[in-house]
Amino acid sequence: MKNITSKFDKVLNNSTTYGNVNHEPDSSTETQLNTPEKSMPFSDQIGNYQRNIGISLKSYENSKIYIVGSGIAGMAAAYYFIRDGRIPAKNITFLEQLHIDGGSLDGAGNPKDGYIIRGGREMDMTYENLWDIFQDIPALEMPSPYTVLDEYRLINDNDSNYSKARLIHKNGEIKDFSKFGLNKKDQLAIVKLLLKRKDELDDLTIEDYFSETFLESNFWTFWRTMFAFENWHSLLELKLYMHRFLHAIDGLNDLSSLVFPKYNQYDTFITPLRKFLEEKGVNIKFHTLIKDLVIQSNTEGKVVEGIITEHEGKENRTPIEKDDFVIVTTGSMTEDTFYGDNKTAPIIGIDNSTSGKSAGWMLWKNLVAKSPIFGKPEKFCSNIEKSSWESVTLTCKPSAFVEKLKEYSVNDPYSGKTVTGGIITITDSNWLMSFTCNRQPHFPDQPDDILVIWVYALFMDKSGNYIKKVMPECTGDEILTELSFHLGILDKLDNIIANTIVKTAFMPYITSMFMPRAKGDRPRVVPEGCKNLGLIGQFVETNNDVVFTMESSIRTARIAVYKLLNLNKQVPDINPLQYDIRHLLKAVRTLNDGKSFLGESILHKVLRGTYFEHILPPIEEDKEEHESFFAEQVNRFKDWIKGVKD
């Protein structure tokens, strides 16, 4: 690479930064001060300045890259090896045990047999790594030079998202969802959680920390059903989520903070990204089981020297040469999925003694057998009762169900615009069932008279309100019956069943990444001492990002590439909106159900007519101030204001 930077040698040869970049800076520990020693951006200083092409200290044009798993994380790794690593695409090979790419980001089917989507990911405008890729990937349905990001913006900029029926109960009645319903003690508990250090929360659960009144509040119903949290999940992960999505908290109840693609996420993201990579020349080997890595350890570190695979019953060893790299997706949230249909139930007998034995988990466990630096996979795959839920995809012809759906829809379901605006949760469902109808058609080949609806439920160990079975033991028709009961259309059940194809998917590990954890349970992206191995996906450690998003998967891939190639470039930390005073003030008001907090009117009086007036949420002039958890600070605040005026 010397010829690329030769004109800059005088500077680079005397730089303490070049070749010593912190590829994963941490905004939660950084004091943002400009000093004579500082040359690179602050850790979360996002924007076009970060669009530079990374430069490595040497050429890797002859390096071979092996990527285990062709999900969004693996594909992102390939993209960054090509774009920033300048590695020829023909040198990159995917090793995939399945017959199809996309990993957990799936979507398939047809109108005759029914469509299926095992899940969806919450989307946000602040996913800097995801949009970093997709602002360069050619659009699915628009001509060159337009990109996937352009398509995404076009649809969302012109069709706002919100819900008019976020909660329902009493056989289909829309429930008031305007309030969070948090008392002062629970509001204070949220603030205290945000203030806690991450290392204080190892292995703690949400129910270890929060009160029963919090767990029974509308706020928790909104949160847990939107993000799929359970009471027994990680308090640390909840904290990270609250920081990550603080800016969106005032859209939590009506889902107005969300943005959705035109189609399902496989067709929106995987299809165009795969096409881009294939046209560049990457190789994909399907039906290839990756059993283990051959790792040589010595005083200088750990080096992968071979990959043990199995293809068509034959075991092979692929040698890894000097300057080759291996990227591994550890674990899988959708491994061992059990399927059902209208007449068949998934029926899984939960046996934790046999869990975590499938290929995705065993590869991780085989790595751990070589060194403890690879984490503790058993923390995530050993308690199916607490990491599972079931999702259902309905392929619907016009029926009484579709007519009922229209009552909950923002726009006509066939209009191509926002329909339910996100999930509708049935609050008195024993299963805690939710359903959603996104923009239709949800698949590019979907006929005009078909709707695709997604349903899921969190409580797998409870019998239904009408169908007295746990959900995994129910056929698709029985689940449809339970849903019809809650919508108050049970008398039209024959019509609904006759016009609805049901596909069910029970996923034992779908929220396994939320399980309580401690430092060291998840490996770092490039574990200590590893010279040519990077770990990606949902079960690796990053500084501040959350799990269960495409953004976090892509972040791990980007970190892996930058660290392994030692690029002269950083991966920015998460969007810094959590530190923005405007969003902090908005969050305080929102947690208090829109009521002003004590001292807020004083702030308005101080700032009225100034440049900073707009940072405060609007307030009615004669609105009574309400007691809040900031009461103990009010006198100190008033003294400060008096000092400012003096």
Q: Give catalytic status of residue 466 as yes or no.
A: no
Give the three-state DSSP class for 428: coil
End-to-end CA distance of the chain, in Å?
A: 62
Give the three-state DSSP class for 80: helix
CA distance 336 to 558: 28
Q: Give catalytic status of residue 61 as yes or no.
A: no
Strand order in the sheet with 424-426: 173-174, 167-169, 424-426, 433-436, 451-457, 389-396, 500-507, 338-341
Q: Which residues pair with 297 in a beta bridge?
A: 302
Cα 332 → chain centroid: 14
- The active-site residue out of 66, 79, 80, 122 is 122
Note whether 573 and 44 are within 8 A (CB).
yes
User: Which CA distances in Å does 571 have to 21, 131, 144, 414?
Assistant: 10, 13, 28, 41
Note whether 73 and 553 are within 8 A (CB).
yes
The candidate with the shortest Cα–Cα distance to 590, out of 617, 608, 625, 630, is: 617
Angle at Cα 489 formed by Cα 488 and Cα 492, nearest 5°? 160
What's the CA dihedral at 165, 167, 168, 174 to 10 degrees? -40
CA distance 457 to 433: 4
> Which stretches of 183-329 are DSSP H helices?
184-195, 206-209, 212-215, 218-227, 235-244, 265, 271-280
The residue written with tokens 């990527």 in the block is 67
- The active-site residue out of 115, 127, 241, 408 is 241
CA distance 332 to 513: 9
The candidate with the shortest Cα–Cα distance to 70, out of 365, 278, 380, is: 278
Give the three-state DSSP class for 244: helix
CB atoms inside a 10 Å sphere around CB 293: 21
CA distance 466 to 498: 20
Q: Going by C-beta distance under 8 Å and a sequence separation of 6 or more, which residues neighbour residue 293?
A: 304, 306, 307, 308, 326, 328, 363, 366, 367, 533
CA distance 149 to 168: 34
The candidate with the shortest Cα–Cα distance to 377, out of 538, 546, 534, 533, is: 538
CA distance 462 to 473: 11
CA distance 113 to 382: 34
> Which stretches of 442-580 are DSSP H helices?
476-487, 493-498, 550-565
Residues with catalytic function:
122, 241
